[in-house]
Amino acid sequence: MNISGSGHALADATVIITGSSSGIGRATAVALATSGARIVLAVRDAEKGRVVASSLPGIPGTHRVRTLDLARLESVEAFVSGIDEPVAVLINNAGVESKDLQRTADGHELQFGTNHLGHFLLTTLLLRQITDRVVSVASQAERMGRLDLADLDWRRRPYRGGQAYADSKLANLLFTAELDRRLRASGSSVRALAAHPGLVRTAIYDRPAGQRPNLWDRLVPVLGQSADEGALPSLLAATGDVPGGAFVGPERMLHMRGGAQLIGRSRRAEDPVLAAELWAASEQMTAAVPRE
């Protein structure tokens, strides 16, 4: 994957990528390491991370592995405490999908807690060290999102895993929009962007033994693209000449396959009031200190 023609050079710059031991995160790490970036692999499984780090282009020791469990806010804080250098790009790539109600170590609904809250805390704690961009991997599933700000943790409503996943992806886009607004208001040159990988054959669609596959599970092996192809939107968002607040996704098949370009989003994802309210709720849920 060649990104040498991109509008932004990352040679010798530090890039943090969550969930980079497999799938789209690993493909993104390989591409950016090839361009000369120093990769920090932020992963739950350090051993898997070390295997990937040893395979990345560059002088031995260039790339580092740091343990990060986004479903445990204490782990996020510990990870950030160990980053003492400028970070050019933070790529919030990691994500989970679950049909059944599960909770994080802090009691939050697992998909919202991991896909949004963990990355929210990671970003806000690291923000003063970020020099260029924050890229959050979202999804067009956001169009089905219906965030209930009064019940973000699904304590009153009957649980629907697919809806919770879509809600978490809508949260990714609202977070990106509000973060970029705050950065511009503060006069910062840092940009916040979101990327949609399309339909990709990754482990996120793997199901436990005995669990019936849904429609997407059946379509992925037939229509899904490779992780290398799915990484292209993240790479454009991380290195291309694109504006803050942009949403980048595939070019073809209703933005589900091939290439990368700017794409649209739902009206809810563009709602500034909802974005601000979600930010306030996220601060409360993570006990994050506002970082302006």
For residue 64, the SS3 value is: strand
| Annotated active-site residue in 112, 165, 247, 279 | 165
Tell me how far apart the alpha carbons of residues 72 and 267 are, in angstroms, rounded to a whole number. 31
Q: How far apart are CA 153 and CA 244, in angstroms?
A: 29
pLDDT at residue number 67: 98
Is 165 tagged catalytic?
A: yes
For residues 21 and 166, what is the distance between their CA atoms, to the nearest angstrom?
24
Could you tell me if 268 and 173 are in contact, meaning their C-beta atoms sit under 8 angstroms apart? no
Other C-beta atoms lying within 10 Å of the C-beta of residue 58:
14
The pLDDT of residue 5 is: 41
Q: Which two tokens stand for residue 177?
A: 């929009």
Confidence at residue 12, expressed as pLDDT on a 0 to 100 scale: 93
Phi, psi of 230 (to 5 degrees): -65, -20
Instruction: Return the pLDDT at 287.
Output: 85
Q: What is the pLDDT of residue 202?
A: 67
- Write down the domain spans for the chain: 14-197+227-284
3-state secondary structure of 252: strand
- Burial, 272: exposed, middle or buried (Cβ in 10 Å; 0-12, 13-18, 19+)? exposed
Whole-number pLDDT of residue 259: 84
Of 3.40.50.300, 3.40.50.970, 3.40.720.10, 3.40.50.720, the CATH number of 14-197+227-284 is: 3.40.50.720
> What pLDDT is attached to residue 258?
77
- In the structure encoding, which two tokens stand for residue 102, read together? 């599960």
Over the chain (292 residues), the average pLDDT of each successive run of 10 is: 53 97 97 97 98 94 97 98 97 97 98 98 98 97 97 98 98 98 98 95 56 62 80 97 97 73 97 98 81 44
